[in-house]
Amino acid sequence: MVPSLVGPFLAGAVTEYLHWRWVFLGVAALTVVAFAMVALRLHGLPLHTEEPSGGRVVARLACAVAVAAGALALSLAGELGAWSAAAVTASVVVIALSARPLLPPGTLRSARGLPSVILMRGLIAGALFGAEIYVPYLLIAEYDFSPTWAGLGLTAAALLWAAAADVQGRFGDRIGNARITLVGIALLSTAVIVAAATAWAHLHPALLVAGWALAGAGMGLMYPRLTVLTLAYSTPQNQGFNSSALSISDSIGASMAIAVMGLAFTALVATDAGFTVVFAIAAALALLALVPGLRLGHAREVVRR
């Protein structure tokens, strides 16, 4: 939670007083530091495992590279002019085909149980992280916020994320997966609808900041619950695969949503509808997450008292 609390503010300050490229350089430096810390802690520990075999590792790495290439091609499709539609279609097909071996069977058709857990994670990640980019952008472009203050506008969402995650941790079993889904999706959908209305009607920016805080509350309920469910559905033999599938779905959902929203925003850059359309796409993704969200089922996450 610390990065989500201070990260947007610091990124805005770096952009305002240095240059936006330093934000990415800072992330790269922190990645090296994190890798060194993990490597030191793992040094000397027995890390051998019998699953998966070496051949499966190579195949899955190849699929992961193909997914990344498809996501990159999707983000660049808008620059191809008349070929944009074909590039978008081809990229989506490549991502879908390459992701299948990396996800539990039945994920793309929202099979009940673990597959729906994994699919829901990707959909809500796409809705939130795709739209979240445009919240500070809207504050800067339409309301003359500085990058620093625009980044600080995301802090309320981070605070409610932490509070909602604590509620889920304490009372999640009593609330139940279906109620968590309904409440979480309602909060996330309300947040992006408020953002769309603010952009469309040029409402007061305080409404945008307050409304976006609801997105943090919704994600705080759903995100950790999906992690708990993933582990509850897992065995010691497949918990590594299932955990990585959750992260992969998260990344695919976010990257595809960001790319599609970027294409839509660029196409409408000459109009006033860009922000509204982007938030409308996020709302559609959030509502679509109800399909797998109501098929989560129950595993060993339920504590019998």
- Over residues 187-206, the mean pLDDT reads 95
| Whole-number percent of the chain with pLDDT over 70 | 93
For residue range 163-187, list pLDDT tens digits in order: 999 999 999 889 999 999 999 999 9
Helices (H), the chain: 2-17, 21-42, 54-76, 84-99, 114-132, 134-143, 147-152, 155-175, 177-201, 205-232, 239-267, 274-288, 290-293
The pLDDT of residue 2 is 67
Q: Are 114 and 169 found together in one domain?
A: yes
Q: pLDDT at residue 303 above 70?
A: no
Per-residue exposure over 108-127, b if at least 16 CB sit within 10 Å of its own CB, e if not = eebbebbbbbbbbbbbbbbb
- Over residues 182-211, the mean pLDDT reads 95
For residue range 234-246, list pLDDT tens digits in order: 988 888 899 999 9
Q: Are 7 and 141 found together in one domain?
A: no
- Domain with 117 in it: what CATH number? 1.20.1250.20
Domain boundaries, position 68 = 51-102
d(CA 107, CA 114): 8
* Cβ–Cβ under 8 Å, residues 10 and 151: yes
Q: Are 86 and 122 found together in one domain?
A: no
Query: How far is C-alpha 297 from the geometric centre of its chain's CA atoms?
Result: 22
Mean pLDDT (the chain) is 88
Q: Are 90 and 192 found together in one domain?
A: no
Q: Are 269 and 297 found together in one domain?
A: yes
Number of domains within the chain = 3
The pLDDT of residue 25 is 82
**pLDDT tier at 50 (50, 70, 90 boundaries)?**
low
Q: Are 287 and 207 found together in one domain?
A: yes
**For the packed helices 205-232 and 177-201, what is the interaxial angle rounded to 10 degrees?**
150
Query: Of the spans 171-175, 212-216, 255-259, which averages the highest pLDDT?
Result: 212-216
Q: pLDDT at residue 229 above 80?
A: yes
Q: pLDDT at residue 82 above 60?
A: yes
- Over residues 175-200, the mean pLDDT reads 96
Q: Are 149 and 296 found together in one domain?
A: yes
Q: Are 268 and 281 found together in one domain?
A: yes
Name the residue with higher pLDDT: 270 or 151: 151
Q: Are 127 and 201 found together in one domain?
A: yes
Phi, psi of 202 (to 5 degrees): 55, 50
* Cβ–Cβ under 8 Å, residues 77 and 260: no
Name the least confident of 242-246, 258-262, 300-304: 300-304
Give this prediction's pTM: 0.84
The pLDDT of residue 304 is 41
Q: Are 31 and 155 found together in one domain?
A: no
Q: Are 146 and 256 found together in one domain?
A: yes
The pLDDT of residue 305 is 38
Q: Are 39 and 153 found together in one domain?
A: no
Q: pLDDT at residue 252 above 80?
A: yes
For residue range 102-134, list pLDDT tens digits in order: 999 999 999 999 999 999 999 999 999 999 999
d(CA 156, CA 177): 25
The pLDDT of residue 54 is 54
